């Protein structure tokens, strides 16, 4: 899977591509590929990547096959909150002026939008946490709530009377502190993410410099205009790292979830510590997962390959231009499938769709929910009842919601993950999922 970031976001119904961020487009294209491979397996064709499992109707991946995810930029959300050292800060245009507004809208505190009862709830949650401070190298402190990874908060403080022995430094901060002389980097700021903190939960401090953002929090994508219901790519990658990339529907046919072996990020502002925190560490403490589900320690790597159409590359090529850069509204996906492998959408609809054509079959992307669901339904109907897995055999299932909920082991794993690590996850309203 490869994700090149040139996309935008919306949050609508199942016949529209409601999240066009590159990581999500790549993952949905991957699921389309997996559905085709499952059809090959069910048709007893040896070219499939799947082989029979030990349970009736279940399949597993051939042992020689692994999946690597490449993304041209760090995922939006928690993984993009990256420390900036002083020399970098002097050269960077990403966190000041018009670029800061264009690249990532500010994540405002959600307490302003809460009612009295919700505010009390938020204050109560905050009071139950222990704060550990990480020294920045200039007698300031980058503070992180550590008792509950789902509600971490950052604040920047100068405390002369703080005992350094009580401060736990991050790996990046320790490296900076050990360096001496003129080359010693001084961490002075963080890269901003446009993803907004989940409504009703703890919000960003928004103080200048290191304390602008809170780390470890769940976030939703900003979209264009109103806040969306799509979780950030960092949050979704953290979820996939526990539940797998196949989703609930395909889990009916799989004996084990399909995990990524590695996530590779292209040349861009990058922090190994931020990636580790956002994708792995927030969920690594969970327990009592159903059989087959794991808290993966996926390999996190960075490439020196830079996407030539990335925001940073375009900014460097247009140093004298005052034209504001805006995200592209198009999403291009490709899947290794025999029919219509290329899919191009604009604002959630297939490219070329007119206002009159919205809502028609021709307006749908091949990777929107309803199209993937129909592909799944065709797979189910082509398999005899005795060869179906238990979760699908002799069942009266009709809607997309019904089939997802019937994947019992997946839903149990998701319940455990949500209750122990991703507590504030914004779930889609049921009415958006009751389609056939």
Q: Are 334 and 341 in contact (CB under 8 A)?
A: yes
Catalytic-role residue among 23, 172, 201, 273: 23
Is 431 a catalytic site residue? no
d(CA 186, CA 183): 9
Q: Are 247 and 32 in contact (CB under 8 A)?
A: no
Distance of alpha carbon 130 from the chain centroid: 27
> How many residues would you count in the chain?
436
d(CA 292, CA 118): 37
| Alpha carbons within 13 A on the beta-carbon side of 80 | 27
> Among 44, 405, 27, 420, which Cα is nearest to 233's?
27
Q: Are 367 and 34 in contact (CB under 8 A)?
A: no
Query: Catalytic residues, which ones?
Result: 23
């Amino acid at each position: 899977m490869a994700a090149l970031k040139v996309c935008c976001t919306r949050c609508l119904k199942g016949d529209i591509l409601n999240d066009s961020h590159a990581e999500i487009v790549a993952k949905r294209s991957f699921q389309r590929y997996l559905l085709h491979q499952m059809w090959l397996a069910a048709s007893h064709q040896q070219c499939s990547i799947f082989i029979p499992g030990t349970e009736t109707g279940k399949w597993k991946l051939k042992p020689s096959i692994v999946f690597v995810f490449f993304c041209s930029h760090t995922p939006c959300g928690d993984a993009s909150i990256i420390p900036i050292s002083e020399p970098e800060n002097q050269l960077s245009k990403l966190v000041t002026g018009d670029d800061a507004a264009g690249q990532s809208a500010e994540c405002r505190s959600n307490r302003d939008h809460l009612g009295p009862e919700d505010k009390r709830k938020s204050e109560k949650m905050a009071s139950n946490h222990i704060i550990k401070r990480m020294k920045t190298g200039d007698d300031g402190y980058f503070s992180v709530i550590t008792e509950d990874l789902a509600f971490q908060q950052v604040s920047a403080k100068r405390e002369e009377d703080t005992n350094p022995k009580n401060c736990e430094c991050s790996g990046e901060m320790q490296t900076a502190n050990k360096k001496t002389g003129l080359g010693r980097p001084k961490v002075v700021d963080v890269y901003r993410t446009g993803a907004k903190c989940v409504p009703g939960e703890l919000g960003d401090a928004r103080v200048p410099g290191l304390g602008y953002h809170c780390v470890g929090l769940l976030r939703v994508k900003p979209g264009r205009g109103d806040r969306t219901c799509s979780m950030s790519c960092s949050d979704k990658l953290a979820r996939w790292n526990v539940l797998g990339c196949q989703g609930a529907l395909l889990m009916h046919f799989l004996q084990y979830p399909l995990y990524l072996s590695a996530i590779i990020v292209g040349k861009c502002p990058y922090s190994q510590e931020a990636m580790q925190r956002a994708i792995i560490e927030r969920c690594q403490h969970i327990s009592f997962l159903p059989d087959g589900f794991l808290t993966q320690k996926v390999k996190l790597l960075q490439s020196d390959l830079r996407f030539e159409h990335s925001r940073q590359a375009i900014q460097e090529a247009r140093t004298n231009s005052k034209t504001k850069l805006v995200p592209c509204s198009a999403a291009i996906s490709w899947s290794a499938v025999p029919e219509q492998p290329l899919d191009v959408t604009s604002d959630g609809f297939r490219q070329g769709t007119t206002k009159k054509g919205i809502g028609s079959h021709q307006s749908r992307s091949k990777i929107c929910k309803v199209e993937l669901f129909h592909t799944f339904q065709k797979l189910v109907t082509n398999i005899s009842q005795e060869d179906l897995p238990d979760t699908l055999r002799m069942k009266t299932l009709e809607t997309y919601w019904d089939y997802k909920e019937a994947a019992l082991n997946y839903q149990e794993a998701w319940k455990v993950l949500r209750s122990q690590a991703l507590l504030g996850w914004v779930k889609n309203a049921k009415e958006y999922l009751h389609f056939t």
